[in-house]
């Protein structure tokens, strides 16, 4: 996996001043648009889950869907979406989290995870950790057991792991 990590890291494009001035955005679209790189990224998640004995994969809206659904498919597991408020059609449970400019809410279907099911949480990026912490809260509300939270990229300088407290966290590319 070490070779994959260096190849994937080199493919991440830096975009200055996006989405606002002063931000250096880590763009993963070069990975997504290249079949070999996308497979490498998905394989990182698949390999990380081979020994975890998970029952389902939970992916966070929206790029977590890309990696999470692909990993779930490869692992032969079900996929559970965590979406922004108002986007899921059935009964939901919700969790809110703080943003630098206010608050946001994510939701999950009430029947998405059975009590005692072991799940892995997948997203593309761990920044401040708010969204992932809210998703972990939803997993716990359903009675699920979070085996690990996994991220393609971790922006270590933002200390997102602190928001996830004692939860097991793994990231592949660190900036």
Distance CA 55, CA 40 (A): 23
Alpha helix (H) residue ranges in the chain: 2-11, 29-32, 35-49, 63-75, 130-141
Taking the CB of residue 10, how many other CB atoms lie within 10 A of it?
Answer: 11
Exactly one of 63, 83, 107, 117 is catalytic; which is it?
Answer: 63
100 is catalytic: yes
SS3 148: strand
Q: How far is CA 151 from CA 45, 92, 122, 171, 173, in A?
A: 8, 24, 6, 5, 8
Q: Is-contact 4 43, C-beta < 8 A? A: yes
103 is catalytic: no
Exactly one of 50, 53, 100, 103 is catalytic; which is it?
Answer: 100
Element (DSSP H or E) covering residue 106:
strand 102-109
Q: Which two tokens stand for residue 24?
A: 């250096």
Rg of the chain in Å (alpha carbons): 16
Q: Could you give the residue numbers annotated as active site? A: 63, 100
């Amino acid at each position: 996996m070490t070779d994959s990590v260096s190849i994937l890291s080199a493919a991440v494009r830096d975009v200055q001043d996006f989405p606002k001035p002063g931000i250096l955005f880590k763009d993963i679209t070069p990975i997504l648009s290249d079949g070999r790189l996308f497979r490498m990224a998905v394989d990182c998640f698949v390999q990380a889950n081979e020994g975890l004995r998970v029952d389902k994969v939970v992916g966070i809206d929206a790029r977590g869907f890309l990696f999470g659904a692909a990993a779930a498919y490869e692992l032969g597991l079900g996929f559970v979406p965590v979406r922004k408020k108002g986007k899921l059609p059935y009964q939901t449970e919700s969790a809110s989290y703080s943003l630098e400019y206010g608050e946001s809410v994510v939701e999950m279907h009430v029947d998405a995870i059975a009590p005692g099911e072991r799940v892995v949480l997948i997203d593309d990026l761990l920044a401040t950790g708010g969204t992932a912490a809210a998703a972990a809260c939803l997993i716990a509300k359903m009675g699920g057991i979070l085996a690990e939270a996994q991220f393609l990229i971790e922006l270590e300088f933002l200390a997102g792991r602190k928001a996830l407290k004692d939860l097991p966290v793994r990231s592949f590319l660190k900036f």
